[in-house]
Amino acid sequence: MKRYDFYIEDMEYFDPKTIADSGQAFRFTHLGDGVYRNIAKGQVITMKREKNRLYFQGLDREEFENQWSRYFDCHRDYEAMRQFLGKDPLMKKALDYGWGIRLLNQEIFETLITFIISANSHIPRIKASVEKMASFYGKPLKGGQFAFPSPKTLAKVSPEELRNLVKVGYRDRYIVETAKMVATEEVDLETIKELDLSKARKVLMTLPGVGEKVADCILLFAYERKESFPVDVWIKRVMEDIYLKEEVTKREVATRGRQIFGNYAGYANQYLFYYGRDHQLGKKR
DNA sequence: GTCCAGGCCAGAC
DNA sequence: GTCTGGCCTGGA
């Protein structure tokens, strides 16, 4: 990176490209030459990994330590996690393949809405919708970028407008209704932090457009519930093929996933997803 | 033209 | 509680 504000040396298991492609966040963009831009927390930052150095621009070292370190999950011991998960052969491969994944700790409302959008969709389309949503309703940031809109703002948008402008399809009313429930604090996203996993899940699922899978994603990617195990089609295929050796319901896959991987279930999930999807694991011909 | 993708919801049993 | 069909949209 030609210009940077600071760099971190010898940071293991941190690769912007892998994070950008891991399907947990939708505002990473490859600007070319290995430089990635991300927008979060009202900031636009760019980063690049070159060998053992991780270059950052748009924030200084102090900001990284105070505000971004947790976002990038830097307070967790990835070595210990990899030791624990690496005991089985498939997971070992998945850990190597997705070596640079961080399990991000993102903003709650943004994660909630983007994962409602993600239902029955795919990454390029989700990203396009989220970018449009930000540019139409978000606060302007530097470089012509936009922050993710607030609950209040989205609560006031009409579903028709959302559908036409942001191309979210039938999820339009889910988004507006959910934004309303958050804006009025009918559902308080902060107090969910205090609840145990199953209770938190239930509360999230009272929001329209949030089912089991989306709730588990929000818990994992925004609430730091690393024992959460979201089950999408890829995880289901991989788990049935490699671990369970039988076809079961998604709910059963989630339960058994948490049993097998314990407190690291969320990490296992992320590596399996990234590896399984790229290798088309368990896909029926 | 047909098919389907990181699911959710409503309605029927 | 479990199962089924319908659903926006865009790209293969």
Task: Supply A177's token pair.
Answer: 């209704």
A213 carries an active-site annotation: yes
Give strand letter and number of the nucleotide nearest A129 (CA to C1'). Answer: C9
Distance CA A26, CA A91 (A): 25
**CA of A67, C1' of B7: distance in angstroms:** 33
Fill in the amino acid letter for A126. I
A247 C-beta neighbours (distance < 10 Å), count: 11
pLDDT > 70 in chain A, percent: 99
Single pTM value for the model: 0.97
Cα angle A273, A46, A27; round to 5:
45
Nearest to A228 by CA among A246, A204, A248, A206: A204
**CA of A173, C1' of C3: distance in angstroms:** 25
Residue at shortest CA–C1' distance from C8: A169
Residue at shortest CA–C1' distance from C9: A169
Q: What is the phi-psi region of residue A43: left when phi exceeds 0, alpha when psi lies from -120 to 50, beta otherwise?
A: beta
Distance CA A51, CA A9 (A): 9
Report residue A230's pLDDT band, with 50, 70 and 90 as the boundaries: very high
> Residue A133: beta bridge partners?
none
How far from the centroid of its chain's Cα atoms is residue A172's Cα?
21
Distance CA A285, CA A281 (A): 11
What would you report as the CA-atom Rg of chain A, rounded to the nearest whole angstrom?
19
**CA of A3, C1' of B8: distance in angstroms:** 45
Strand C nucleotides within 7 Å of a protein CB: 2-3, 7-11
Quick: pLDDT tens for A151-161: 999 999 999 99
Residue that the structure tokens 């089950």 belong to: A231
Residue A279 has pLDDT above 60, yes or no: yes
A23 touches strand B (CB under 7 A): yes
Strand B nucleotides within 7 Å of a protein CB: 5-9
pLDDT (average), residues A86-93:
94
Give strand letter and number of the nucleotide nearest A24 (CA to C1'). Answer: B6
Quick: pLDDT tens for A241-254: 999 999 899 999 99
Residues 234-253 of A with CB under 7 A from strand B: 234
A40 touches strand B (CB under 7 A): no
pLDDT (average), residues A5-13:
94
- Mean pLDDT, chain A, rounded, equals 95
Give strand letter and number of the nucleotide nearest A119 (CA to C1'). Answer: B7
Q: Which of A213, A226, A236, A250 is catalytic?
A: A213
Whether A259 and A243 have beta carbons less than 8 Å apart is answered as: no
Distance CA A210, CA A113 (A): 9
Give strand letter and number of the nucleotide nearest A251 (CA to C1'). Answer: C2
What local confidence, expressed as pLDDT, does residue A285 receive?
44
Quick: pLDDT tens for A172-220: 999 999 999 999 999 999 999 999 999 999 999 999 999 999 999 999 9
